[in-house]
Amino acid sequence: MNGTEGSPSHAEMGHEHHEVEGPGYPTPMAMRTESGREKTAYVMAPRVGMENDGPDIVGVVDVDPSSDTYSELIDVVEMPNKGDELHHFGWNACSSSCHDEHLSRQYLVVPGQRSSRIHVIDAEDPRNPEMVKVIEPEEVYEHDLSAPHTVHCVPGGKVVISMLGDANGELPGGFLQLDQEDFSIDGHWEVDRGAMELNYDYWYQPRHDVLISSEWAAPNTYYPGFDLEDVEAGKYGDSIHIWDWEDRSHVQTLEFGEPGLIPLEVRMSHNPEETQGYVGAALSSNVIRFYETTDGRWDWDVVIDEESREHEDWDMPVPPLITDVVLSLDDQYLYFSNWLHGDVRMYDVSDAGNPRLVDRIWAGGLFGDRQSVAGTDIRGAPQMLQLSRDGRRLYWTTSLFSSWDNQFFPEIGEEGSLMLKADVYPEEGRMELDEDFLVDFGEAPGGPARAHEIRWPGGDCTSDVWQ
């Protein structure tokens, strides 16, 4: 199926509701309706490139409105070394293994983008997580990989991490597989990487024997900051890759060219019957829909096209820079952030090939008409997004990557970034900024930090996959 109107609803998927023995929920609908409100958030918060460049932290944020410490940073897990640049992280197990009684969603796998060091945090007590294991970079380099990015738990007691470079920070990247029991390194996930050189984010759908990966650049290209000459030299990606899940082999490349420069976050439909999804092309500032065709090949269309804007301080039009995308668990709403412009958008994608803009919020950025919340100046703009499981609260942080922050929003490097929230009314198709919710990572213990990716203890829209 290709995600058009008339596709089966979640209730019609043939994956029955029943008691699960392992982690997560049997269906996306069960997670959305039965999981309860989020009370705690884990937030990656690096200090690389800060004036006070102490160790990175994983922050524990209270998001329970009945709590006396609501919207406060109530605990941190400090990394044992400096310079990791925590970026994205994930769970050891999720709903893809919901029927495996031997697994539980207990450990956060927390890689360092710059250091290639991988940390394992025990979050059995959600508000008192503890570091339990560190995989040193030398162990990763033995497999000629570096720069870990996306962490997904996969069926069979494994964890797979997309790796953006080789041991020297050049190309090609690949995928590193860990054992879920002791977090030892198994080696490469992929058996045949084919034409894939660049890597970034990925999503997988085992029911349809497919994995989709996207592209950024070689670590040595993006680490120093953004240089337009690198784009012109072809050092940044413009494609996504289709993999055979069972064979672990590359089978097709969808090359976007100019409309799809720097395709970052991959979001496939949560409904495991669907074979379609979206990727945000950051520099081109387009949202591209990819889908399987009737002959088993994959194709794509630009379904949202954002426009650059003139700015008095820029000698070229400013692209919106779509940096994150999130899809609600019922696959009805797509949200994305325009990090340079300063807005977060809400689209109705119930007709998957024809997204319809229903609302947006401006908060910070180069063009936002709202530049402060709760009396605090917004440093940066909407960037990493996370939606509540019931689809009624959208949270975001304002930092992208240390060197890119310092280039475009230097105040983040001086004072730290923020975590903000909007209330969502899905029945009405609208959002409203919560002007009383603000978590200022400039006040983090040990000094300012860059709040980045967000996760819920019970799983979320960007970590869980269903079989």
pTM (predicted TM-score)? 0.95
Residue 4 lies in a domain: no
> What pLDDT is stored for residue 118 in this prediction?
98
| Tokens describing residue 379 | 């440093």
Q: What is the DSSP string of 110-149?
A: EEBTTT--EEEEE-SSTTS-EEEEEE-HHHHHTTT-EEEE
In this prediction, residue 221 carries a pLDDT of: 98
Q: Is residue 50 situated within a structural domain?
A: yes
- pLDDT tens for the chain, residues 1 to 467: 343 333 344 444 444 545 677 889 999 999 999 999 999 999 999 999 998 889 999 999 999 999 999 999 999 999 999 999 999 999 999 999 898 888 889 999 999 999 999 999 999 999 999 999 999 999 999 999 999 999 999 998 899 999 999 999 999 999 999 999 899 999 999 999 999 999 999 999 999 999 999 999 999 999 999 999 999 999 999 999 999 999 999 999 999 999 999 999 999 999 999 999 999 999 999 999 999 999 999 999 999 999 999 999 999 999 999 999 999 999 999 999 999 999 999 999 999 999 999 999 999 999 999 999 999 999 999 999 999 999 999 999 999 999 999 999 999 999 999 999 999 999 999 999 999 999 999 999 999 999 999 999 999 999 999 99
Cα(312)–Cα(318) distance, integer angstroms: 10
Amino acid at 151: V
What pLDDT does 21 receive?
Answer: 78
Q: Is residue 254 part of a domain?
A: yes
Q: Does residue 2 form part of some domain?
A: no
Provide the token pair at 107.
């450990």
Are the beta carbons of 409 and 380 closer than 8 angstroms?
Answer: yes
Q: Does residue 464 fall inside a structural domain?
A: no
Q: Which residues contact 266 (CB under 8 A, 6 or more apart)?
A: 201, 202, 203, 212, 213, 214, 240, 277, 278, 279
Structural domain contains residue 463: no
Contact in structure between 344 and 361 (CB atoms under 8 Å): yes
Q: Beta-carbon neighbour count of residue 72 at 10 Å? A: 15
Q: What is the rounded distance in angstroms from the CA atom of residue 232 to the CA atom of residue 209?
A: 35
Which residue type occupies 407? Q
Task: Give how many domains the chain has, as a whole number.
Answer: 1
Q: In this structure, what DSSP letter does residue 358 have? A: E
Residue 224 lies in a domain: yes
Which residue in this structure is represented by tokens 């994959």? 298
Give the range of the structural domain holding residue 47, as residue numbers without chain letter: 10-455
Residue 221's CATH number: 2.130.10.10
Q: What are the structure tokens assigned to 130, written together? A: 């503890």
The angle subtended at Cα 457 by Cα 453 and Cα 463, nearest 5°, is 55
Neighbours of 158 (CB within 10 A): 18
Q: What pLDDT is stored for residue 17 in this prediction?
A: 44
Residue 255's pLDDT is 98
Nearest in space to 205 (alpha carbons), one of 104, 290, 145, 120: 290
Largest Cα–Cα distance in the chain?
A: 59
Q: Which residues pair with 277 in a beta bridge?
A: 268, 290
**Is 157 a domain residue?**
yes
